[in-house]
Amino acid sequence: MRLPVISHPVRRHGSLHRILIPAAALRHTWLRSPFLTGYGKITASRADLLRLGALFRLAAISPHSAVHLPLRANQVPEDLAHWFTDHRPADLLIAHRDAGLRASAWPGLRASTRRRATQADRQTATTPAARPDPDPHSRDFSADRRLALSEHAETLLITAPGQGLHQVGDLLSQAGEAVATHRDIHRNGFALLSSLTPVLRGGGGAPDELEIDIYAREPIFHKARWAASATPPPA
């Protein structure tokens, strides 16, 4: 997949050389941080799930970059509002473990990208294609490939080696491809598709006890919507 991104140079931060931000915002993605209650959710449209998968794979092949998804300003739909009653969605930051990015450094880096916005460069990134049938329970997700989570300044940072990020990207793409034919999407416009919990460090168990599930929200495939639009107006 080819993705337009804005590349912000980073100075004096070890192996991290740039922050990449999608040129077109993922406006139909909402992230509930797992650090609130232990349970997190990534909810997105089909198109955003496919792009999110590609962005994880971009981070996987970019050991000197971090991918930033500004999601905090996304308007939360009414049917998701109960998950965000006392907080707004979190931003997402994805980085290769070799970049050495710490969550505590993010506020300064974010401020730097804003101050030096004129130095940013628009580029087109080419990401690896998704591989078929990823399995979060696969032995390929060995302990050294699992995702490490941290949070700071309303931003969830996900770091892992390249292989782990690539496999998560495949999981997200698989979820996106499943949206159009998923029974619950047709019934409700909303469905649980997959989970990142098996690939988190300590996911679902001590000491971290964190979980993240992947949901799709795609009203365009909801049968009730099409039935309503096909109903003729009263005479």
Domain edges within the chain: 2-29+46-180
Other beta carbons within 10 Å of 2: 8
pTM for the model: 0.90
The pLDDT tens digits for 54-93 are 999 999 999 999 999 999 999 999 999 999 998 899 999 9
Assigned token pair, 171: 């999981």
The pLDDT tens digits for 171-209 are 999 999 999 899 999 888 899 999 999 889 876 665 568
Q: Sheet harboring 91-96: ordered strands across?
A: 121-126, 2-9, 18-22, 65-69, 91-96, 155-160, 148-152
